[in-house]
Structure 1
Amino acid sequence: MFMLSNEINLSAMPQADQERIASILENAKAANTKLAYESDWNNFKQFCSKFNYLPLPASEATLIHFISEESKTCKHSTIKRKISSISKAHKMAKLMSNTTHPIVEELMDSIARTKGNHSTSKKAMVLDDLKRIIDVIDTSTLQGKRDKALILLGWSTALRRGDIVSINMEDLVFTDKGLEIDVFEQKKKKQRKIVILPANNNYCPIETLLVWLKEARIKSDSIFRAVNKANNVGERLSGESVADIVKKHAKAAGLNPELYAGHSLRSGHITAAHDEGFDLSTIRQHTGHSSIEIIDRHYVQTMNNYKNNTSSTLSKL
């Protein structure tokens, strides 16, 4: 008997149809796993490039440094998955992996004990912060054009960082009214469409995206890619790269980079939309949250802690 979920029983279907559906779901799961491995491996290669390390084979010192850097922003479970991806890459290359080195394992155990699976809550990138950050980006460079497009599109779509970098050219439809994006949400394993409207100013996500795509000569596959010092456009960015880009420009704008990350784009959009008077149902339709209760609990109530706070009575003194 094949159960599609706890509620849907397909046992009444012919066996051949059940097996076909099972095969489709298994292939989808395999594709998602492959995408996660690809993102993790690209993240590690970008780290190695930044610090001039050799990714294959990666030394124990390289792995220790990588884990230390990742522990600043990632949960233990996320780091564990990335180490697994690095190990898989070594196996595919038929190279010995240092991911099971005693010191590497000891460091991971230590992170599990001290950090657990909790990550530091990041600040929402409200409109004032967004403007400050965009204004300091040097768009005379190819990397600057990419970063401006990534931050504005990430903010306007309110997507999770992994979903931002998973967008391909084939997912985009430019119309006379705006931009339509077919997005596959990795967390929910669900496809949905997002519509982005143009802005008649220097902060238009559509115009900045078009400028980046033209300058980078991107016509297919990933829209957000690595750019080296020689302005060579490389592979798809990782989700962690989104956080690095946000932090880099937040620091340049005089903001505390430790308070910002990839999720700041998503939470900033929600905060701004709520402040502009959009109801929670409309916000949910754009962000793809499973319920308005989640938005209310995780975002609105947090905002209200500052807006409707009885400690303000001290100002009457």
Structure 2
Amino acid sequence: MSDLDRYLQAATRDNTRRSYRAAVEHFETVWGGFLPATADSVARYLVAHAGVLSVNTLKLRLSALAQWHNSQGFADPTKTPVVRKVFKGIRALHPAQEKQAEPLQLQDLEQTVAWLEQEMKEAREKQDRPLLLRACRDRALILLGFWRGFRSDELCRVQIEHVQAHAGSGITLYLPRSKGDRENLGQTYQAPALLKLCPVQAYIDWITEAALVRGPVFRAVDRWGNLSEEGLHANSVIPLLRQALERAGIAAERYTSHSLRRGFATWAHQSGWDLKSLMSYVGWKDMKSAMRYVEASPFHGMARITDKPLSS
């Protein structure tokens, strides 16, 4: 691969590249379209999948087709009036409420961490190293993900070399790139040590127990207690979280990795954080993105207006 190709490839994130490749393959192989495509064929493709695929999925498919045509030097059929109008019609006739992850409530976080700590205690007594490592890792990942509002891919890309943790004080993490960092300038995140549910002490305990000195922080643990050299894949965070919740006696099917991020945003909002501070802490660039994550009661604050019950 030439230097030019490497830089061009680095300009597009791996997840986006995979999604685009799958979208183009779907257009060609599954639906039977031809590339380069005409505006008519793209419009018929949209019509064929309207009401079957979500509007967001169709939007991603259009972006992938646009990127393919632009990179190959062909005119972009997705920008033509007929395609735009068909897509607008689909949005009007097939509105769908956006699915959002259930926010992880603080009491559920506390219950899960208490269970993981009990597992760690029992694992030490039984000298069950695989169980000890998994419980210790899961506690650190869940607490860090919650209190920093990290996405799953950000958690999986944290490197030990980029972390400074001081017990009783705080933790500083540097991520060379993230979803919100469009210019790839890198970003530094901080979190304080807490008296309860502390992400700093959980991180230190995990690094110490696993004897890690460099490389990915969060890794797979096999049945014999051996750690992988590679970091966890972002897709593994959802089953990891759900399994921990289920073991703690919490119905977990409605939770995803974004539940940690939404859970923190909900807690911060209900604790009185102003939106600007929350956006700065989590890394949102616009208010619309922030409001999608904030879970608030529609009657929040009404008790201060009237002493009467809202219903008779």
Q: Same fold (TM over 0.5)?
A: yes
Secondary structure of the 2:172 match is strand
Deviation at 1:215, TM superposition (A): 1.5
Q: CA distance change for structure 1 residues 244 and 281 in 2, over 3 Å: closer, same or farther?
A: same
1:253 is aligned to 248
Deviation at 1:26, TM superposition (A): 3.3
- Structure 1 contact 226–236 (Cα < 8 Å) conserved: yes
Deviation at 1:150, TM superposition (A): 0.3
Q: CA distance change for structure 1 residues 278 and 309 in 2, over 3 Å: closer, same or farther?
A: closer
- Structure 2 contact 115–248 (Cα < 8 Å) conserved: yes
- Structure 1 contact 162–186 (Cα < 8 Å) conserved: no
Q: CA distance change for structure 1 residues 115 and 316 in 2, over 3 Å: closer, same or farther?
A: same
Distance 2:211 2:49 in 1: 42
- Structure 2 contact 156–232 (Cα < 8 Å) conserved: yes
Q: CA distance change for structure 1 residues 27 and 249 in 2, over 3 Å: closer, same or farther?
A: same
Does structure 1 residue 182 correspond to structure 2 residue 174?
Answer: yes
Deviation at 1:24, TM superposition (A): 8.9
Match of 1:151 among 126, 142, 146: 142
Q: Which amino acid aligns with 1:181?
A: L
Q: Which amino acid aligns with 1:252?
A: R
Deviation at 1:280, TM superposition (A): 1.0
Does structure 1 residue 218 correspond to structure 2 residue 200?
Answer: no
Deviation at 1:316, TM superposition (A): 3.8
Deviation at 1:309, TM superposition (A): 8.2
Match of 1:134 among 90, 113, 116: 113
2:39 is aligned to none
Secondary structure of the 1:258 match is coil
Stretches of structure 2 that go unaligned for 5 or more consecutive residues are 32-47, 58-95, 124-131
- Structure 2 contact 181–187 (Cα < 8 Å) conserved: no
1:228 is aligned to 222
Deviation at 1:147, TM superposition (A): 0.3
Q: How does 1:1-317 map to 2 (within 5 A)?
A: 26=8, 28-29=10-11, 32-33=13-14, 77=19, 80=22, 114-116=52-54, 117=57, 120-137=99-116, 138-139=119-120, 140=123, 141-175=132-166, 177-183=169-175, 184-186=177-179, 188-189=181-182, 190=184, 191-201=186-196, 203-234=197-228, 235-295=230-290, 297-300=291-294, 302-305=295-298, 307=300, 316-317=311-312
- Structure 2 contact 180–283 (Cα < 8 Å) conserved: no
% identical aligned pairs: 22
Distance 1:227 1:36 in 2: 28
Distance 1:299 1:145 in 2: 28
Deviation at 1:282, TM superposition (A): 1.0
Distance 1:249 1:79 in 2: 33
Q: CA distance change for structure 1 residues 251 and 182 in 2, over 3 Å: closer, same or farther?
A: same
Measured on the aligned residues, the alpha-carbon RMSD in Å equals 3.5
Which structure has the greater CA radius of gyration?
Answer: 2
TM-score by length of 1: 0.62
